[in-house]
Every structure is written in structure tokens, then in C-alpha cells.
Amino acid sequence: MIEDLLATIVGVDHIDVGDQISEDATHDESLDGVPVRPRAVVRPGSTEEVAAIVRAAVVEGIPLTPRGSGTGLSGACTPVAGGVVVSFERMNRILEIDTDNHVAVVEPGLTLAELDAALAPHRLIYPVFPGEQSASLGGNVATNAGGMRAVKYGVTRHHVLGIEAVLGTGDVISAGGKFVKSTSGYDLTQLVIGSEGTLAMVTRATLRLHPRPEFHTTLLAPFPTIQAIASAVPPIAASGVGPLMVEYIDLVSMAGITANAGIDLGIPAEIKEAALAYLVIVLENHDPTRLEEDTEALAGQIAGLGSLDVYVLPDQAGTQLIAAREKAFWASKANGADDIVDVVVPRASIPSFLDRVSERAAATSSLVIGCGHAGDGNVHLSVWQPDPDVRHTLLHDLMTSGLALGGAISGEHGIGTQKAGFLAELEDPVKLDLMRRIKAAFDPHGILNPGTVFDPVGPSGAGGATGATGPALVTGAGR
């Protein structure tokens, strides 16, 4: 029995079977996913244990699903029935904070909140901040997490200098290191980043850190249309002040997130009535005088870009608004949203994309609202459309429109199990075939996270890829 084998690897206290398996391990936070009970949940404590788990799974033909904090929004850590979840919660140590090289070396189960708390006393920051701070660094690496600060700092891909990882054979590789660049063969670190647990299990990451700016200002600018906001973003990005965040929030979303958080931003009624969308900009600096100068200059510039007004929010209100924006997903979930879309387009194409969104929403009698990282073209939409077929058509149209504008079907949350069917349908078959061959090289037995990215296998996989040419899951006789 695989359970006995796994128990000898990690110890009986670190494997859950049957009723011991928590409901939490059966799903992530995606809205449309169907929970799947795994055969076991195993919690390794070291790279050697992860490698031994993979070797055992290969022999027994058991699929493995890596799991960080389960905050993903695409069903990527949804288990496979009969498979085993590998939870990294015990591997959560900070191995090193190297203040000379501005680098941290961490285990994958460490959360962003834990890392941030440890870096603050050193006046350093790991600036990748997707909206959910309980997310793990392993999950961030596997999804190439982005977030509101990407417009200034970039995403996970720009901050992971190296990894240690266990391949689908049980072999352990170490790639990259405490340096920004090398030209020594293919960059395996970058290949694993964003691979959603389908190529390797990340057991260690070397992260690039930055000095931690202490002073922040939040500007809020109501606009008469989202199109006006989108037109204002390129000049703001070119202003030279290097904003930390440039977020747009549509009228309905703003009402939802401020009501949810109990915030009153004190905007006069006549402005509120005329505003259809808001731009939120956060500036940061190490020097309060320079921050004040930048704030003044940018506020003046925004006023000339078609905004109805510009407010510099008091510190507390600014912090509250950003925290509420981070929780926008939870507000949509609480209000019964049926799905979310995270298409990315070149930022100058946001108006064209949103025109198409309005048109398709009206044509299908759906409610589609949202906010997004306007500075880098990431549009996050919440969709209310109870009919699954109509919803599928709507999502398909929105993704196709994003692609036609030079974008991608997922800018942030990943393909997971939920968009695997869309990827199979909409992505270039030559690229898909190449991806499958890369997967086969890392994971020749096809045991790592099957159903994610390719060939959805769960109930949410209806409409998934057909004619798979990639590695088939080995079904071991000894199971």
C-alpha cells in the first residue's frame, strides 16, 4: 500500500488518510471548481523526503498534486481522485537572509506574510504581493504570481534567482543562485516558474530582495469612464515617478469593496454620481520630501488627464483602500460570483478589451464587473452568469478577444484545471506540443499534477484537451 510506504518516508504523524483528510485539501479558492478527495495528504519535512515520495509514487503509479496554501484561483492544486497531495506546510523555514547580496533563501511552504515580517527588521522587502498574503512562496513560484506591485517591481519570475526542485523521476536539481544572470545552458529556473507543479516540486527558492521604502502616498482619481482611465495610464507610467501601484476599480466594484470593508472615502456626492470608475495610484519613496514633490506633480498631471478630481488620501484611508482592493475577490465570492476572468492585454488595449466585455455581457445578459492592475494590463473580472453553457461561451469570447488584442488567457492565476480546456482550444498547437515534450522530459511518468495545464481529468475537465500526445500516467500494477 502506498500509504504505508509514504508513512515510512514522512512518519505516521505527517500523513492523513480517510477521515483525517481535511476538506480544505480537496480544493483551492477557485469559484467554479469541484472538490476532489485525494487518497492521502502527505507532509514532507525535507527535500530528501519529497524525492522519496516521488520515487514511491513512480513505482506505484500514483499521481501527486503539490499544494502550498491552497489560495490559487484556477483549480491548480485540486487533487486527482486516487492521488496523493504533497503539502509543503512543514517545509516553511527561512534558510538565510543575506543582507549583503539582498537575497533570501526559503523553503516553499513559507507564506508571503511570514517572509515580510522577517524582512521588515532588515529594512528589506520581497516586493511580489499577490492579493493574498497567506499564499506560499512555492505556490507563488509555481504560478508566477504577480499582483498590484508588478507595475514597479515585476512579478515572481523577476525575483526568483534560483531553485532546488524534485523532478518527476525523484532526481533533485539545483538551478541558478545568488546572482541576477548566468548564461550557462537553458534557464531551468525560469522554466519551472509558472509551470503550476507540472514539471517539478520546488523545495527551495533563492529570492531577490529590495531596500524597503518607508513612505507611501495613495492618490484616488474618479473618472467619468473606464476608457478615460485606460487612456490616462500610459502618460502616468511615463511620468517618471515610478508608481508602486496603478489600479483601476469600476463603479460597482468600488461600491462593493468599500461597503465590504466599511470605508467611507469622503468623496462628494456630485463626483460620486458622475464617476464610473476610479484610478488608485500608490507612490513610495525613501525620502518624505521627494515623495511629497512626486505626489504633487502626479496629482497635477492626473487632473489634466480627464479625471473628475484627484484626492490624496490620508494614510489610514489609503491603507484601508488598498487592503479592501486586495480583498475584492472575497467580496465577489461573498456576493455569489460564478467565475472570474484574469485575461491580460497590452495596457494600451484595456479600453478595447473592456468595450468587448461590455458588449458580450449585454449580449448574454450577464453581469461582468471588475478591477485590475491597469499599469500592466491585467484585467480581473467577476462574472455572474448562472447558466454554465452561456458562461462557457462568454468566457471563451473574452479570452479570444484578449488573444486577438495581443494578450493571454491568464495573466495571473494560471491555467490550472479550470482553463486547461480553453488552453487546448485557443493556444497554438505547435507550442502546446512543445510544452508537452518539455513536460515529458521533466516528468516522464506523468505523475506531477495531471489535469493541470493539460488534459483536465476532474469533473471540471469537461471540454478538456483531446488527442493527448504527452506522457500518460503510469498505472502501477503494485497499487
Ligand X SMILES: Cc1cc2nc3c(=O)[nH]c(=O)nc-3n(C[C@H](O)[C@H](O)[C@H](O)COP(=O)(O)OP(=O)(O)OC[C@H]3O[C@@H](n4cnc5c(N)ncnc54)[C@H](O)[C@@H]3O)c2cc1C
**Residues 179-218 close enough to bind ligand X by CB under 6 A:** 196-197, 201-202
Contact with ligand X (CB under 6 A) among 79, 146, 377, 456: 146
449 binds ligand X per the rule CB under 6 A: yes
230 binds ligand X per the rule CB under 6 A: no
167 binds ligand X per the rule CB under 6 A: no
Contact with ligand X (CB under 6 A) among 44, 127, 131, 470: 131
Report, in Å, the least distance between residue 71 CB and ligand X.
3
Q: How many residues bind ligand X (CB under 6 A)?
A: 38
68 binds ligand X per the rule CB under 6 A: yes
CA 457 – CA 10 distance, rounded (Å): 28
Contact with ligand X (CB under 6 A) among 33, 83, 108, 243: 108
> What is the number of the residue whose Cβ is closest to ligand X?
139
Residue (130 or 243) nearer to ligand X, CB? 130
What mask of x and - would describe binding to ligand X in positions 392 to 431, judged by CB under 6 A? --------------------xx------------------
132 binds ligand X per the rule CB under 6 A: yes
Report, in Å, the least distance between residue 453 CB and ligand X.
9
138 binds ligand X per the rule CB under 6 A: yes
**Residues 304-323 close enough to bind ligand X by CB under 6 A:** none
Report, in Å, the least distance between residue 293 CB and ligand X.
30
Residues of this chain that interact with ligand X (CB under 6 A) are 28-29, 65-73, 76-77, 88, 108, 130-132, 135-136, 138-140, 142-143, 145-147, 196-197, 201-202, 329-330, 412-413, 449, 452
